[in-house]
Amino acid sequence: MHEARVVADLVDKITEVAKENGTDHVDAVLVQLGAMSHLTEELFLGQFEVFAAGTPAENATLDITRADDPFSPAAKDVRLVSVVTSVELDSEQQK
Closest by CA position to 62, among listed 89, 77, 36, 43: 43
Mean of the per-residue pLDDT values of the chain: 90
Band of pLDDT at residue 2, cut at 50, 70 and 90: confident
Per-residue model confidence (pLDDT) at position 90: 35
Sign of CA dihedral 22, 25, 61, 14: positive
Band of pLDDT at residue 1, cut at 50, 70 and 90: low
